[in-house]
């Protein structure tokens, strides 16, 4: 057992020894000890995005801490399951760093595990790509991920790329940014677990965080990858603001039959981190899992599950 194994198991054993209310107050105590400016930064960040709950110390609102504590209390065994399935030291330390940050406001370990060497999604040590790749980019935004892929692997290192984006104005920018590249299929629609109509909910903080809902607005056609693409897929990237679980359900035939490489964002709520690997494992139990993250060490987001 190495040092990270020991530290991880010490952490989870401590958490498992607490009742839910005790766990909440442990996290609250750790939060109370961080500098005021850091508290304000956390509040501004959590309240800007509707993912993890509200945090407003001036008005006694600690929903974000309550939800985080609840996730640790109810799912610590699921996090243990994930830890035991991770394939390398960096991934295991990354998971430990995330949970230690949630529980202790540990910024030191998240600083150590933040990804600096590679671009988002494309860890060249573990993600090998060739000229016959058929790629799906869910949440293609302005084409930044496709351009990063081409920069890392080359213009000839794919057969076809499907780009899905739900925001019309962003979709036009996406098409313009990638117009010089061959075999790019642009699709102005959302991907989920069924065919339906939804409506665009624009995020004031960032258009990259636009989401879907049932309220009136710009209508968005939803479909599934299994329904929308007939040919075999070799790589699926998904960063779709909390719809990742639904996208996996709607791509289960591709995942089972084609075993595509999966690059999935697992940070848009408190359950994706453990639940999405379990969903993938339930579809096909021979995937190997890795974790990388590339955001502020204060609260780790931009967490990617790499499943190969």
CA angle 219–143–262, rounded 5-degree value: 90
The whole-number pLDDT of residue 217 equals 72
The whole-number pLDDT of residue 214 equals 62
Which CATH number describes the domain made up of 134-265? 3.40.50.150
- Cα distances from 161 to residues 173, 229, 233, 265, in angstroms, run 17, 11, 10, 19
| Rounded-to-integer distance, Cα 146 and Cα 107, Å | 31
Q: Which helix (H) or strand (E) holds 4?
A: helix 3-16
The sign of the dihedral angle between the CA atoms of 216, 220, 224, 225 is negative
Locate 308 and state its tokens.
């190969």
CB atoms within 10 A of CB 35: 8
How are strands ordered across the β-sheet holding 289-293? 184-187, 160-164, 134-138, 235-238, 261-265, 303-307, 289-293
User: Could you tell me which residues come within 8 angstroms of residue 97 by beta carbon, excluding any fewer than 6 positions away?
Assistant: 106, 109, 110, 112, 113, 300
SS (H, E, C) 230-274: CCCCCEEEECCCCCHHHHHHCCHHHHHHHCCEEEEECCCCCCHHH
Rg, the chain, Cα only: 20
The whole-number pLDDT of residue 207 equals 53
Could you tell me the mean pLDDT of each successive run of 10 residues in the chain, 308 residues long? 95 98 98 96 93 96 97 98 98 98 98 96 96 98 98 97 96 98 97 91 59 74 97 98 96 98 97 98 98 96 98
Q: What is the pTM of this model?
A: 0.94
| Rounded-to-integer distance, Cα 295 and Cα 114, Å | 7
- Cα distances from 170 to residues 215, 236, 284, in angstroms, run 21, 20, 34
User: At 142, phi and psi to the nearest 5?
Assistant: -95, 10
The whole-number pLDDT of residue 219 equals 87
The whole-number pLDDT of residue 210 equals 62
Domain boundaries, the chain: 3-113, 134-265
User: Could you tell me which residues come within 8 angstroms of residue 28 by beta carbon, excluding any fewer than 6 positions away?
Assistant: 62, 65
Beta-strand (E) ranges in the chain?
Answer: 134-138, 160-164, 184-187, 190-191, 196-201, 211-213, 219-223, 235-238, 261-265, 289-293, 303-307
The whole-number pLDDT of residue 107 equals 97
- Cα distances from 159 to residues 227, 240, 267, in angstroms, run 20, 24, 30
């Amino acid at each position: 057992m190495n040092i990270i194994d020991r530290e991880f198991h010490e952490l989870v054993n401590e958490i498992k020894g607490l009742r839910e209310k005790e766990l909440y107050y442990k996290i609250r105590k750790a939060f109370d000890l961080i500098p005021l400016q850091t508290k304000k930064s956390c509040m501004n960040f959590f309240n800007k995005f509707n993912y993890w709950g509200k945090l407003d110390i001036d008005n006694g609102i600690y929903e974000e801490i309550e939800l985080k504590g609840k996730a640790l209390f109810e799912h610590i065994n699921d996090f243990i399951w994930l830890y035991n399935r991770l394939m390398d030291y960096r991934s295991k330390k990354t998971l430990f760093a995330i949970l230690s940050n949630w529980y202790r406001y540990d910024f030191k370990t998240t600083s150590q595990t933040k990804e600096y060497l590679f671009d988002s999604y494309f860890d060249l040590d573990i993600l090998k790509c060739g000229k016959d790749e058929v790629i799906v980019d869910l949440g293609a935004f302005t084409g930044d991920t496709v351009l990063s892929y081409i920069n890392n692997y080359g213009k000839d290192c794919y057969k076809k790329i499907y780009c899905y984006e739900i925001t019309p104005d962003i979709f036009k920018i996406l098409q313009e940014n990638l117009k010089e590249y061959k075999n790019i299929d642009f699709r102005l629609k959302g991907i989920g677990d069924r065919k339906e109509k939804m409506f665009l909910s624009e995020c004031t903080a960032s258009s990259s965080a636009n989401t879907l809902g049932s309220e009136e607005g710009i209508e968005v056609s939803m479909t599934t990858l299994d329904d929308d693409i007939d040919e075999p897929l070799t790589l699926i990237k998904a960063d779709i603001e909390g719809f990742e679980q639904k996208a996996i359900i709607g791509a289960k035939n591709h995942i089972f039959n084609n075993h595509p490489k999966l690059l999935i964002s697992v940070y848009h709520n408190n359950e994706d981190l453990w639940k999405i690997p379990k969903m993938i494992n339930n579809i096909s139990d021979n995937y190997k899992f890795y974790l990388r993250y590339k955001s502020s060490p204060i609260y780790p987001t931009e967490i990617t599950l790499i499943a190969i």
